[in-house]
Structure 1
Amino acid sequence: MKFSEQIKKLRQEQQLTQEEFAAKIHVTRQAVSNWENDKNLPDLETLIVISQTFQLSLDQLILGGTEMTDKLIKDGSETRRAKFNFFSSLIGGFLLLIGLICFVIKANSVEYIDKQGILHENFYLLPLGYLFLFSGLTVIMVSGVTYLFKKYRLENSKK
Protein backbone atom coordinates (compact mmCIF):
# COMPACT_ATOMS: atom_id res chain seq x y z
CA MET A 1 0.00 0.00 0.00
CA LYS A 2 1.31 3.44 -0.88
CA PHE A 3 2.00 5.89 1.91
CA SER A 4 -0.63 8.28 0.54
CA GLU A 5 -3.28 5.55 0.80
CA GLN A 6 -2.01 4.47 4.19
CA ILE A 7 -2.14 7.96 5.72
CA LYS A 8 -5.64 8.55 4.29
CA LYS A 9 -6.83 5.20 5.64
CA LEU A 10 -5.37 6.01 9.07
CA ARG A 11 -7.09 9.41 9.11
CA GLN A 12 -10.43 7.95 8.04
CA GLU A 13 -10.22 5.12 10.59
CA GLN A 14 -9.81 7.76 13.29
CA GLN A 15 -12.78 9.63 11.76
CA LEU A 16 -10.78 12.83 11.44
CA THR A 17 -10.89 15.56 8.84
CA GLN A 18 -7.63 16.67 7.28
CA GLU A 19 -7.68 19.75 9.54
CA GLU A 20 -8.22 17.70 12.70
CA PHE A 21 -5.53 15.23 11.68
CA ALA A 22 -3.12 18.10 10.93
CA ALA A 23 -3.84 19.74 14.29
CA LYS A 24 -3.10 16.49 16.13
CA ILE A 25 0.34 16.17 14.56
CA HIS A 26 1.11 19.91 14.43
CA VAL A 27 1.25 20.43 10.67
CA THR A 28 -0.91 22.29 8.18
CA ARG A 29 -3.95 20.86 6.45
CA GLN A 30 -2.15 21.42 3.12
CA ALA A 31 0.69 19.15 4.28
CA VAL A 32 -1.79 16.35 5.01
CA SER A 33 -3.47 16.94 1.66
CA ASN A 34 -0.10 16.76 -0.13
CA TRP A 35 0.72 13.48 1.61
CA GLU A 36 -2.65 11.99 0.71
CA ASN A 37 -2.31 13.14 -2.91
CA ASP A 38 1.21 11.65 -3.10
CA LYS A 39 2.80 15.04 -3.82
CA ASN A 40 5.41 14.80 -1.07
CA LEU A 41 6.33 12.94 2.10
CA PRO A 42 6.57 13.98 5.74
CA ASP A 43 9.99 14.42 7.30
CA LEU A 44 11.32 11.95 9.85
CA GLU A 45 10.28 13.99 12.89
CA THR A 46 6.70 14.17 11.61
CA LEU A 47 6.66 10.42 10.95
CA ILE A 48 7.69 9.86 14.57
CA VAL A 49 4.92 12.18 15.80
CA ILE A 50 2.33 10.35 13.65
CA SER A 51 3.62 7.03 14.95
CA GLN A 52 3.41 8.11 18.59
CA THR A 53 0.07 9.90 18.24
CA PHE A 54 -1.71 6.94 16.65
CA GLN A 55 0.20 4.16 18.47
CA LEU A 56 1.73 2.72 15.31
CA SER A 57 5.22 1.40 14.94
CA LEU A 58 7.37 3.15 12.37
CA ASP A 59 7.54 -0.18 10.54
CA GLN A 60 3.78 -0.24 10.16
CA LEU A 61 3.68 3.38 9.12
CA ILE A 62 6.62 3.38 6.71
CA LEU A 63 7.03 -0.20 5.59
CA GLY A 64 3.43 -0.69 4.59
CA GLY A 65 5.01 -0.93 1.16
CA THR A 66 8.60 -0.68 -0.04
CA GLU A 67 7.73 2.26 -2.30
CA MET A 68 7.76 4.67 0.65
CA THR A 69 11.10 3.39 1.92
CA ASP A 70 12.67 3.59 -1.53
CA LYS A 71 11.38 7.13 -2.03
CA LEU A 72 12.69 8.27 1.38
CA ILE A 73 16.12 6.80 0.63
CA LYS A 74 16.20 8.38 -2.83
CA ASP A 75 15.08 11.79 -1.50
CA GLY A 76 17.72 11.64 1.24
CA SER A 77 20.56 10.82 -1.12
CA GLU A 78 19.48 13.54 -3.57
CA THR A 79 19.38 16.06 -0.74
CA ARG A 80 22.88 15.11 0.43
CA ARG A 81 24.17 15.29 -3.14
CA ALA A 82 22.59 18.72 -3.66
CA LYS A 83 24.08 20.02 -0.39
CA PHE A 84 27.51 18.69 -1.36
CA ASN A 85 27.31 20.35 -4.77
CA PHE A 86 26.13 23.62 -3.27
CA PHE A 87 28.84 23.81 -0.62
CA SER A 88 31.63 22.73 -2.96
CA SER A 89 30.55 25.36 -5.49
CA LEU A 90 30.40 27.94 -2.71
CA ILE A 91 33.91 27.04 -1.53
CA GLY A 92 35.24 27.07 -5.11
CA GLY A 93 33.68 30.47 -5.76
CA PHE A 94 35.11 31.83 -2.51
CA LEU A 95 38.61 30.63 -3.46
CA LEU A 96 38.26 32.24 -6.90
CA LEU A 97 37.20 35.51 -5.27
CA ILE A 98 40.20 35.48 -2.93
CA GLY A 99 42.48 34.89 -5.93
CA LEU A 100 41.00 37.84 -7.79
CA ILE A 101 41.31 40.01 -4.70
CA CYS A 102 45.03 39.15 -4.51
CA PHE A 103 45.48 40.36 -8.12
CA VAL A 104 43.53 43.58 -7.44
CA ILE A 105 45.62 44.33 -4.35
CA LYS A 106 48.85 43.64 -6.27
CA ALA A 107 47.78 45.89 -9.13
CA ASN A 108 46.89 48.76 -6.80
CA SER A 109 49.82 48.48 -4.37
CA VAL A 110 52.71 50.92 -4.49
CA GLU A 111 56.25 49.64 -4.91
CA TYR A 112 59.00 51.78 -3.47
CA ILE A 113 62.64 51.78 -2.45
CA ASP A 114 63.38 53.08 1.02
CA LYS A 115 66.42 55.14 2.11
CA GLN A 116 68.43 51.99 2.77
CA GLY A 117 67.89 50.78 -0.82
CA ILE A 118 65.44 47.99 -0.01
CA LEU A 119 62.66 47.35 -2.52
CA HIS A 120 59.24 47.02 -0.94
CA GLU A 121 56.88 45.07 -3.18
CA ASN A 122 53.99 42.67 -2.63
CA PHE A 123 55.47 40.09 -5.02
CA TYR A 124 53.99 37.19 -3.04
CA LEU A 125 50.45 38.21 -4.09
CA LEU A 126 50.87 36.95 -7.66
CA PRO A 127 51.68 33.30 -6.87
CA LEU A 128 49.15 33.39 -4.04
CA GLY A 129 46.46 34.70 -6.41
CA TYR A 130 47.25 31.99 -8.95
CA LEU A 131 47.16 29.36 -6.20
CA PHE A 132 43.71 30.48 -5.07
CA LEU A 133 42.40 30.65 -8.65
CA PHE A 134 43.74 27.17 -9.40
CA SER A 135 42.32 25.78 -6.14
CA GLY A 136 38.90 27.31 -6.76
CA LEU A 137 38.73 26.02 -10.32
CA THR A 138 39.87 22.58 -9.17
CA VAL A 139 37.15 22.38 -6.48
CA ILE A 140 34.45 23.44 -8.94
CA MET A 141 35.70 21.07 -11.66
CA VAL A 142 35.97 18.08 -9.31
CA SER A 143 32.49 18.63 -7.87
CA GLY A 144 31.08 19.04 -11.40
CA VAL A 145 32.74 15.87 -12.68
CA THR A 146 31.62 13.98 -9.55
CA TYR A 147 28.05 15.17 -10.08
CA LEU A 148 28.06 14.15 -13.75
CA PHE A 149 29.59 10.75 -12.94
CA LYS A 150 26.99 10.03 -10.25
CA LYS A 151 24.17 11.18 -12.54
CA TYR A 152 25.48 8.96 -15.35
CA ARG A 153 25.85 5.97 -12.99
CA LEU A 154 22.32 6.54 -11.61
CA GLU A 155 20.81 6.67 -15.11
CA ASN A 156 22.62 3.48 -16.13
CA SER A 157 21.47 1.67 -12.99
CA LYS A 158 17.82 2.44 -13.89
CA LYS A 159 18.16 0.72 -17.27
Structure 2
Amino acid sequence: MEFGEKIKELRTTNQMTQEKFALRLNVTRQAVSNWENNRNLPDLEMLILISTIFHISLDELILGGSTVNNMTEKLIKDGSETRRAKFNMITTLIGALFLFLGAAFFFIKAHSVEYIDSSGILHENFYLLPTGFFFIFIGIIIFLTTGITFVNSYIKSRR
Protein backbone atom coordinates (compact mmCIF):
# COMPACT_ATOMS: atom_id res chain seq x y z
CA MET A 1 0.00 0.00 0.00
CA GLU A 2 1.34 3.43 -0.93
CA PHE A 3 1.88 6.00 1.78
CA GLY A 4 -0.90 8.30 0.48
CA GLU A 5 -3.41 5.48 0.53
CA LYS A 6 -2.35 4.58 4.08
CA ILE A 7 -2.82 8.18 5.33
CA LYS A 8 -6.21 8.45 3.63
CA GLU A 9 -7.35 5.11 5.06
CA LEU A 10 -6.25 6.05 8.59
CA ARG A 11 -7.92 9.46 8.32
CA THR A 12 -11.23 8.10 7.02
CA THR A 13 -11.40 5.21 9.51
CA ASN A 14 -10.96 7.75 12.31
CA GLN A 15 -13.75 9.86 10.71
CA MET A 16 -11.59 12.92 10.14
CA THR A 17 -11.85 15.31 7.24
CA GLN A 18 -8.73 16.67 5.61
CA GLU A 19 -9.39 20.00 7.36
CA LYS A 20 -9.64 18.43 10.83
CA PHE A 21 -6.57 16.31 10.22
CA ALA A 22 -4.64 19.34 8.96
CA LEU A 23 -5.64 21.34 12.06
CA ARG A 24 -4.38 18.56 14.37
CA LEU A 25 -1.05 18.53 12.51
CA ASN A 26 -0.88 22.32 12.21
CA VAL A 27 -0.53 22.16 8.41
CA THR A 28 -2.76 23.20 5.54
CA ARG A 29 -5.47 21.03 4.03
CA GLN A 30 -3.54 21.20 0.75
CA ALA A 31 -0.54 19.56 2.45
CA VAL A 32 -2.72 16.65 3.56
CA SER A 33 -4.21 16.41 0.07
CA ASN A 34 -0.72 16.35 -1.46
CA TRP A 35 0.32 13.54 0.89
CA GLU A 36 -2.76 11.51 0.06
CA ASN A 37 -2.23 11.98 -3.67
CA ASN A 38 1.48 11.13 -3.39
CA ARG A 39 2.55 14.52 -4.74
CA ASN A 40 4.93 15.01 -1.82
CA LEU A 41 5.71 13.40 1.50
CA PRO A 42 5.82 14.67 5.09
CA ASP A 43 9.08 15.08 6.97
CA LEU A 44 10.16 12.84 9.83
CA GLU A 45 8.78 15.07 12.60
CA MET A 46 5.39 15.07 10.91
CA LEU A 47 5.50 11.27 10.58
CA ILE A 48 6.06 10.95 14.32
CA LEU A 49 3.09 13.26 14.99
CA ILE A 50 0.88 11.30 12.58
CA SER A 51 1.82 8.00 14.22
CA THR A 52 0.99 9.49 17.62
CA ILE A 53 -2.40 10.77 16.46
CA PHE A 54 -3.44 7.44 14.95
CA HIS A 55 -1.75 5.29 17.65
CA ILE A 56 0.20 3.39 15.04
CA SER A 57 3.87 2.43 15.00
CA LEU A 58 6.24 4.24 12.67
CA ASP A 59 7.09 0.91 11.06
CA GLU A 60 3.49 0.27 10.18
CA LEU A 61 2.96 3.85 9.03
CA ILE A 62 6.08 4.04 6.89
CA LEU A 63 6.31 0.48 5.60
CA GLY A 64 2.58 -0.11 5.47
CA GLY A 65 3.11 -3.82 4.94
CA SER A 66 5.72 -6.16 3.58
CA THR A 67 6.49 -4.22 0.40
CA VAL A 68 8.66 -1.14 0.10
CA ASN A 69 6.55 1.93 -0.65
CA ASN A 70 7.43 5.46 -1.75
CA MET A 71 7.89 6.71 1.83
CA THR A 72 10.44 4.01 2.55
CA GLU A 73 12.28 4.86 -0.67
CA LYS A 74 12.28 8.54 0.30
CA LEU A 75 13.72 7.80 3.76
CA ILE A 76 16.42 5.58 2.27
CA LYS A 77 17.29 8.24 -0.33
CA ASP A 78 17.35 11.00 2.31
CA GLY A 79 19.67 8.94 4.51
CA SER A 80 22.12 8.28 1.70
CA GLU A 81 22.06 11.94 0.65
CA THR A 82 22.78 12.99 4.24
CA ARG A 83 25.72 10.61 4.48
CA ARG A 84 27.04 11.84 1.12
CA ALA A 85 26.72 15.48 2.21
CA LYS A 86 28.57 14.76 5.47
CA PHE A 87 31.30 12.95 3.57
CA ASN A 88 31.66 15.86 1.11
CA MET A 89 31.84 18.36 3.97
CA ILE A 90 34.47 16.36 5.86
CA THR A 91 36.65 15.82 2.80
CA THR A 92 36.38 19.49 1.86
CA LEU A 93 37.48 20.49 5.37
CA ILE A 94 40.40 18.06 5.21
CA GLY A 95 41.42 19.42 1.80
CA ALA A 96 41.23 22.98 3.13
CA LEU A 97 43.36 21.99 6.12
CA PHE A 98 46.06 20.55 3.84
CA LEU A 99 46.02 23.69 1.68
CA PHE A 100 46.27 25.88 4.76
CA LEU A 101 49.18 23.85 6.15
CA GLY A 102 50.99 24.01 2.80
CA ALA A 103 50.59 27.79 2.70
CA ALA A 104 51.69 28.04 6.33
CA PHE A 105 54.88 26.10 5.54
CA PHE A 106 55.66 28.49 2.67
CA PHE A 107 55.02 31.46 4.95
CA ILE A 108 57.30 30.06 7.66
CA LYS A 109 60.02 29.31 5.09
CA ALA A 110 59.81 32.85 3.70
CA HIS A 111 60.13 34.41 7.14
CA SER A 112 62.66 32.06 8.70
CA VAL A 113 66.27 33.08 9.15
CA GLU A 114 69.02 31.05 7.53
CA TYR A 115 72.46 31.44 9.02
CA ILE A 116 75.87 29.87 9.27
CA ASP A 117 77.08 29.32 12.80
CA SER A 118 80.67 29.71 14.02
CA SER A 119 81.45 26.08 13.13
CA GLY A 120 80.48 26.72 9.51
CA ILE A 121 77.20 24.74 9.63
CA LEU A 122 74.29 26.11 7.61
CA HIS A 123 71.03 26.25 9.56
CA GLU A 124 68.10 26.22 7.17
CA ASN A 125 64.54 24.90 7.24
CA PHE A 126 65.04 23.02 3.97
CA TYR A 127 62.22 20.56 4.65
CA LEU A 128 59.51 23.27 4.61
CA LEU A 129 59.38 23.72 0.82
CA PRO A 130 58.86 20.07 -0.19
CA THR A 131 56.47 19.56 2.72
CA GLY A 132 54.50 22.67 1.72
CA PHE A 133 54.31 21.49 -1.90
CA PHE A 134 53.24 18.03 -0.74
CA PHE A 135 50.43 19.39 1.46
CA ILE A 136 49.17 21.71 -1.28
CA PHE A 137 49.26 18.82 -3.77
CA ILE A 138 47.29 16.58 -1.39
CA GLY A 139 44.77 19.37 -0.72
CA ILE A 140 44.21 19.91 -4.45
CA ILE A 141 43.81 16.16 -5.03
CA ILE A 142 41.22 15.97 -2.24
CA PHE A 143 39.30 18.96 -3.64
CA LEU A 144 39.37 17.54 -7.18
CA THR A 145 38.27 14.09 -6.03
CA THR A 146 35.42 15.50 -3.95
CA GLY A 147 34.35 17.80 -6.79
CA ILE A 148 34.41 15.07 -9.41
CA THR A 149 32.46 12.74 -7.12
CA PHE A 150 29.87 15.45 -6.45
CA VAL A 151 29.45 16.30 -10.14
CA ASN A 152 29.21 12.61 -11.01
CA SER A 153 26.49 11.98 -8.42
CA TYR A 154 24.65 15.13 -9.53
CA ILE A 155 24.66 13.96 -13.14
CA LYS A 156 23.40 10.50 -12.09
CA SER A 157 20.59 12.03 -10.01
CA ARG A 158 19.45 14.18 -12.95
CA ARG A 159 18.93 11.15 -15.20
TM-score between the two structures when normalised by the length of structure 2: 0.71
Q: Residue 112 of structure 1 contacts residue 120 of structure 1 at CA under 8 Å; is this kept in 2? A: yes
Deviations 1:52-95, CA, capped at 9 Å, x for gaps: 66431334311348121122122222222122111111111111
Of 110, 125, 149, the residue aligned with 1:146 is 149
> Match of 1:25?
none
> Match of 1:135?
138
Query: Counterpart of 1:126 in 2: which secondary structure?
Result: helix
Compute the RMSD of aligned alpha carbons.
Answer: 3.1
Of 76, 81, 86, the residue aligned with 1:78 is 81
Q: Residue 11 of structure 1 contacts residue 18 of structure 1 at CA under 8 Å; is this kept in 2? A: no
Unaligned runs of 5+ in 1: 23-28
> Match of 1:61?
61
Q: Where has structure 1 moved over 2 Å in runs of 4 or more?
A: 1-19, 32-43, 45-55, 57-60, 148-155
Q: Residue 92 of structure 1 contacts residue 135 of structure 1 at CA under 8 Å; is this kept in 2? A: yes
Alignment of structure 1 residues 2-151 onto 2, 5 Å: 3=3, 6-7=6-7, 10=10, 13=14, 18=22, 21-22=24-25, 29=26, 36=32, 38=35, 41-43=42-44, 47=47, 50-51=50-51, 54-64=54-64, 66-151=69-154
CA distance in 2, matches of 1:18, 1:48: 15
CA distance in 1, matches of 2:125, 2:48: 59
CA distance in 1, matches of 2:29, 2:137: 50
In percent, how many aligned pairs have the same letter? 48
C-alpha deviation, 1:150, in angstroms: 2.5
Relative distance call for 1:34 and 1:74 in structure 2 (3 A) is farther
TM-score between the two structures when normalised by the length of structure 1: 0.71
Unaligned runs of 5+ in 2: none
